[in-house]
Structures are given as C-alpha cells and as structure tokens.
Amino acid sequence: MRIAGSGFVAMNRKVLVVDIDEVSQEQCARVLRDCACQVTVANSDAVALAFIENGDFNLVLLDFRLGTRFGSDLPAALRQAKRGVNIVLMVEGVGMPTPQHPLRLCGYPLLTKPLKIEDLRQVLEGSPAAIATPMPSAAASPSALEFGGLVGVSERMKKIHRLISKVALQRHSVLIMGESGTGKELVARAIHKSGPWKNEPFVAVDCGSLPAALIESELFGHVKGAFTGAAQSRQGLLASAGAGTVFLDEIGELPVELQSRLLRSLQEHEIRPVGSNTPVRFEARIVAATNQDLEAAIKRGTFRKDLFFRLNVVSIKIPPLRDRKEDIPELARHFLARFSTEKTVPQISDEALGRLMSYDWPGNVRELENCIQHAVSLGSGPFIQTQDLPSTMLYHLARKSASRADLSTLQALEQQAIRQALQATGGDRVRAARLLGIGKTTIYRKLKEYGIEMGAAEASG
C-alpha cells in the first residue's frame, strides 16, 4: 500500500508507542496511522510490558524520558518479554533536524521528536534485520568507576552520572555549579559525548578570560568593517558549534550588558553578528558553569534573574572533593595511569594514601591531579611514598596535625584544672567555677562535655 503524495510504502506494522506525554503520544500515533500502521499507546513501563506480553508488535517507539528505568531496564525487559521485538528510542529535538540517521544509543536506533514521515521511512520500510538491535552488553556500558571522563564510586557521583544520562538526550540548557577544580567542564563534555549530537562540535568559552572589548564579537561574530580592525567577517563561537554544545564556563563573569543579548539569543534561537542586521539561526545547546552563587549575584545586580532561569532548566551541583573522599583512591589510580611513563603503573603506599585521605583538597580534583603528577615525576620504584607528595601539602597536614595535638593538650589541661578545683571545694560546683574564673553555666557544660562524675570528683577529694 502506498500513501498518496508521500512516496511511502506502508508495511501495515503493529507499533507500540510508549510515552509519558499525552500530546506527544497523540502526535506519534497520528503520524504512524498516516503510514497505515496499527498503533497502541502506553504511558508507563508497567502498561508497556503488559501490552508486549499480550500482543504481537513489530516495533516499539520508546520515549527516553520514561523514568529512571529507561536507560537499561525497560528496553531489556521489553526484549525479554517479546524476543525479537524491535525497539527505537525517541528524544526531544526541539525542532532541529536529526543528525545522520540512524542514530544509536546503546545499540538502539534513535529518532528525534516531533516525528516525521521521512524519518520513520528508514525504520518502517527497513528489513527486520536492519532495525533489529542487540541487547546492550556489559562491555558496552559505562564503567562503574569512570563515566565520560568522570571518575568516582561515591553515591554523589553515581547520582551525577544518572543525571547526565538523562539530560544528554535532550536539548535543554544545563547549569553546572561547583567550586573551582571540581570538574565542571568534564561534566559538560560528558553531557555532550553521551548524547546523539556527540559528533557535532563542542565549543568551550571562558567568559572570565575573554577581554571585555572583544567578548561580544567572540560570542556573536561580526561582519567586515563592523569596527576598526574588522578586516573580514568572522563567525562567532555560538554559531560555530552548529547543532553541538556551547560550554559557557564562568558564566557569572559575563558582563551584564551582554547577558541580555545572550538571553535573547536563547529565547529566539537566533544571534545577530556585530554590525549586521541579519539574524543567524542558533542551534547549539547551552551548558553553562559557575563557581559563584548566582542567586547572590542577582541580589547584587550583577546577574540577570531571567537569564538565570533560562540557563537553570536542569542544574547539576558537583560536590567538592572533601565531601566525597571515598573517590580519592580511584582518582589517584586514574591519574597514576595517566602520568606514568613506565609499563608498570606504580601503586600508592598505605602511608601516602593515608595522607591523601587526610587532606582537605581546597583545589579539589585539579589539585589532586597536580599532586599525583608531582609524585610520579619525583618518585621511583613500584610505590609512591609520602616523601614523593608535594611539600606544601605535607606542610599543611603537619600544621593540621599539630593544631589537633595542641587542642588535645589544652583539653587535657582544662579537665585537670576542673577536677582540682572540685577537689579543693569539696565538689561545690559554684565555688569551683568561682575559683576557676568561669561562670556556673560554663562549668556545668564542661562537666557534661568531659564526662566528669561529681561523685568521683568528691570522693577523690
């Protein structure tokens, strides 16, 4: 059967559409029915599994956003319930043309919504062998220790990995927050590399390092003669990313007057080069990052509230390394493998690892990386020893240890003084406090803090 005017040969396939969005469900079903397909819709994994088990479907169109089970469990469960069923994943394309077809994620073909008949043609007219997809293997899945360049086994990092997997397949803006050195650009690159547009450009822009006089031209481009020295037209960094990702690092440093231009570009998906009256289509997804408190910057008037909301569609907060110290051993081994020039990668001695675990890492992962590189360059033999670590780090650890020792000594002296005062006053806490020159409330608190029993103190007197 051929649909008039479309050049499309219908296959009379039975298709199950699994989507949580009713509007999207109806749109997909309408396009499929126009292709003479028999369509059934489901809005949850449980309903989808029930249909699969009791029906004879040729194809399942599965929305990526369908809960946390989407990335692995639901496709696997559908294939297990009906062996041989073909699964195609759907992602939001925000009106953009889908890149080279067929895209794939974990071995599954990928279509961009809203669906178009010409895109479905490759799926529906293809042979079953052409669209059959293998089950994702363990070898193809991201390592539990490393995900898109991000190394970590802590629950906080696993949560970030899961969030990246979800946002990577959508075109929404993402705001990454975290201290300097926590790996904000690595997160941005992981988002880019985990999505269907990974073969498109990734353009990183450091908003804090661009000269104020040139930043507008760098971001939006300019035409020939737009200003003194503009000898030729130049494409801006935003346009150069195409359908890929623009990473705006240190977005809080962007001058306020340019924030309004960026906001308009994000709202209208257009940019206007300096000196030009002709808008240029802007397709890239924006991922921004900052180590500043943007809400505080809004109150100070140095950051626009509307731009903050436009960027903060999805936010990812990266914890400092001091709050995920269980990741330090894996990170250290990762950097050892990177910097070692020997065939056998050195190990870290227990004593040196103890020093790494005791340090607070104000420079976060970047400081740990520099520390391991320093140790590899100075060390010799199969183990990294304590003396191979940077002297500045060992100095701070020594001071920290000394401070704790001093505190312990002072606490011991304080306990001794309180006991002696109680003995001298026969256990009279008020007189003991007066003798020590402290208040009654203070001595009660100290007695409780140090666990000094009044009976024992009086008896000893």
pLDDT-based confidence at residue 413 (cuts at 50, 70, 90): low
Asked, colleague to colleague, whether 151-317 and 404-460 share their fold, the answer is no
277 falls in which pLDDT band (50, 70, 90)?
Answer: confident
The CA radius of gyration of the chain, in Å to the nearest whole number, is 31
pLDDT at 134 over 60: no
306: confidence class by pLDDT, cuts 50, 70, 90: very high
Per-residue confidence (pLDDT) for residue 367, from 0 to 100:
94
What pLDDT score was predicted for residue 137? 37
pLDDT value, residue 76: 67
Is residue 28 scored above 80 in pLDDT? yes
Q: What does the block give as tokens for 109? A: 């073909």
**How would residue 454 be classed by pLDDT, with cut points 50, 70 and 90?**
low
Q: How many whole angstroms separate alpha carbon 341 and alpha carbon 404?
A: 39
Mean local confidence (pLDDT), 402-408 = 61
Query: CATH fold of 2-131, please?
Result: Rossmann fold (3.40.50)
Closest CA to 218 of 205, 229, 227: 205
Confidence at 26, pLDDT banded by 50, 70, 90: confident
- CB under 8 Å, gap of 24 or more: what pairs does 261-266 form? 261/216, 261/220, 262/219, 262/307, 263/304, 263/306, 263/307, 263/310, 265/220, 265/238, 266/173, 266/307, 266/310, 266/311
Mean pLDDT of 282-295: 93
In the chain, where the domains are located: 2-131, 151-317, 324-389, 404-460
Residue 321 phi/psi, 5-degree rounding, is: -65, -30
AA identity, residue 329? P
Q: What fold characterizes domain 404-460?
A: Arc Repressor Mutant, subunit A (1.10.10)
Rounded to an integer, what distance in angstroms lies between the CA atom of residue 341 and that of residue 345?
8
pLDDT score of 175 = 97
Q: Which CATH superfamily is domain 151-317 in?
A: P-loop containing nucleotide triphosphate hydrolases (3.40.50.300)
Q: What is the mean pLDDT of the chain?
A: 79
Spatial distance between the Cα atoms of 38 and 110, rounded to a whole number of angstroms: 21
> From 3.90.79.10, 3.40.50.720, 1.20.1600.10, 1.10.8.60, which CATH number describes the 324-389 domain?
1.10.8.60
Query: pLDDT for 253-266, tens place per residue?
Result: 999 988 998 999 99
Lowest-confidence segment of 95-99, 352-356, 424-428 by average pLDDT: 95-99
Query: What pLDDT was estimated at residue 208?
Result: 84
